[in-house]
Amino acid sequence: MKTKLISALILICFSLSLYAVQNKENTPGTMKKNIYIESTLAESVAKSIIGTVGEKSRFRVERGVAQVAGLWRKEDGTPEEFKAFCKTGFITDDAQLDTLFLKLQRNLEIISGYFHKIDLQLKEPVQLTGSEITPLDELFGGYDISSHLDEDLFANKIAFIAALNFPYYSLEEKTKEGKQWTRKQWAYARMGDRFTIRIPANVLQNLSQVLASADSYISGYNICMGSLQNAKGEKLFPADMKLISHWGLRDELKSDYSDKKHGKEKQELIYSVMKRIIDQSIPADAINSDKYTWNPVTNDLYSAGKQVTVKPEDNKRYEMLLASFRANKDLDAYTPQLPNALARNFDGNMEILQQDVETLFKGLLTSPEVKRVAALIQKKVGRNLRPYDIWYNGFKSKPDLSEAELNQITSKKYPNPKALETDLPEILIKLGWSSEKAKQIASLVKVDPARGSGHATGAVMKNDYAHLRTRIAATGMDYKGYNIAVHEFGHNTEQTITMNDVDYWMLSGVPNTAFTEAVAFMFQKRDLELLGFTNTNADTENNLALDDFWSCYEIMGVALLDIATWEWMYAHPNATPQELKEAVLSKSKEIWNTYYAGVLGGKDETILAIYSHMIDAPLYLSNYPIGYLISFQVEGRMKGKSMADEMQRMYTQGRIIPQIWMNNSVGKDISAEPLLEAVRTALKQ
């Protein structure tokens, strides 16, 4: 999964048009206009500047002056001071404009980079293993040191200088004109994206605190599997197995397909645990505790063989989600062109319209290939499919080893975080990087022991460290942890390349987080190859297509539920946690019945609601299926070529818009058709 920092940034660091934006009162939740600089004055100032600098600068002048007018408040100066600022601050000379850009870029990198380093270190007590988390740790972990930055940059006029001289381009304009832009023009356009809104520090600080609380809640949500028992009182899981929800539970369920003796029964128990978490009937004493024995099917709790009263968690999951919604909704008053979190996420941050994303997902979910692949899975498992077969992983090429044997290999190879960090260059070399480049990339990645399932955090300035935070037990890294760590290292590799090898810092990164998920998937599917297992399946290419397809089928429904949940919260802003829970369960059933019940059974199933990112990473989930599609198209282009060379070619484009990035890389827009065609071929064979 992507860095949790994205949770805080995903709905803030977006692009939006301010060509006609007016100022708003400094109060969350209000959309009242507070026009200080009248449009007639802005037009008069622009006309005056054009009269001096000439027609060639008309576009930049008109848009720049309008942008500043939309952001200017009474405390920034009088109308006359606004007029004087625009006339003296506008730059026409190309060399001077380039100097301004380079100075802004340099100083923004310094500020952003060091703020990010501070933020990471403040979060260490709550994100890394160590002593018990204290309330003070949580306060510091939720503190956003950068929340006053933009206020200060508007106050000292730096933000206005940038807004005046670097015009913002809408997504439509970037799509139409960006194909012909030079790298410098793209960098200038991203500078134009930087200062387009003014969100008060208290609003940002509240959002940061809420997201940090959600992150802490999810990071500590573990199930002690050795405490589970079936109807016969048997315990089927190792006594020391502790799995985080939902990732650990899901990965254990996947691994149980290889357990011929107890696999299905273990899967049924995990399935019951998941449903108890979703409907919040899970006993509070069963969370992160092995004090009691628990039968998740009947929801009976025992102490020393005697049944005890169950006290359910009682909607805390939905309290967290509701708090996240309200903190994000507070931003709405300051982003009128993107008036809610959904618009900010899709139109702004992802730069792909929500309607286009949903159409893409629904197209695959309703494709005839779904039932054909499901029939193949049913044949493989030898039984009628169950709802949890949404996580079937039998298409992966595997050595003839049990999970326990794989655990022995990974725990011996990686007994601690340092061992993994030391091996990072070798991983890259095996994937095709030269020894020199592998060492260069790996030298900028640090491995940290995580409390949660793990995540990747990239640097925000050149030559700083990316962090791979992963869970490693005292007995070493088990195979599940290793598989996740390889995924996260894919993120780190992308983050390091797109920070240090991209020509402009303003273009560092990727078009949106789906593109980094694509790299993480490419790394993750090669995890066994990295352990030395090669040619484990003669039909590898077909199986990869089937596996990617089934993964898309799984996560697209989850993403649609995520979207539907936020739409419902906006329609019911005063809902209680209980009402929200009922709505999530209802939406989950609706989506399941539409796209899954006819394939996997289980009418009115709620299992789609188990994903932890629904709680701790607002509206992030759509990035996963888009990432799978991008990954498949990129892999197709890499066929017969060096993965390392192709990654360097594609990913050094940096943060241009998604469809132009894709056309430059693979010659096509983001599409499900290449994957569907590959699935059709695989099914024939």
pLDDT score for 535: 59
Output the DSSP codes for 579-631.
Answer: HHHHHHHHHHHHHHHHHTHHHH--TT--GGGG-THHHHSTT-TTHHHHHHHHH
pLDDT score for 15: 36
Contacts of 562 (CB under 8 A, 6+ apart): 611, 613, 614, 619, 620, 621, 622
The CA distances from residue 79 to 23, 35, 53, 84, 163, in Å, are 14, 12, 22, 9, 17
pLDDT score for 34: 54
Dihedral over Cα of 585, 587, 588, 590: its sign = positive
Contact between 615 and 218 (Cβ < 8 Å):
yes
**Cα 582 to Cα 505: distance, rounded to the nearest angstrom:** 45
pLDDT score for 551: 96
What are residue 66's phi and psi, to 5 degrees? -65, -40
pLDDT score for 23: 33
Question: Which residues of the chain are under the pLDDT cut of 70?
Answer: 1-34, 535-538
Output the DSSP codes for 153-200.
Answer: HHHTTHHHHHHHHS----HHHHHHHGGG--HHHHHHHHHHHHSS----
Report pTM: 0.85
Q: Count CA atoms within 13 Å of residue 209 on its CB side.
A: 14
Contacts of 638 (CB under 8 A, 6+ apart): 646
pLDDT score for 25: 33
pLDDT score for 273: 98
Q: Which residues pair with 303 in a beta bridge?
A: 306
- How does strand 466-470 pair with strand 445-449? parallel
pLDDT score for 403: 83
pLDDT score for 8: 38
pLDDT score for 2: 42
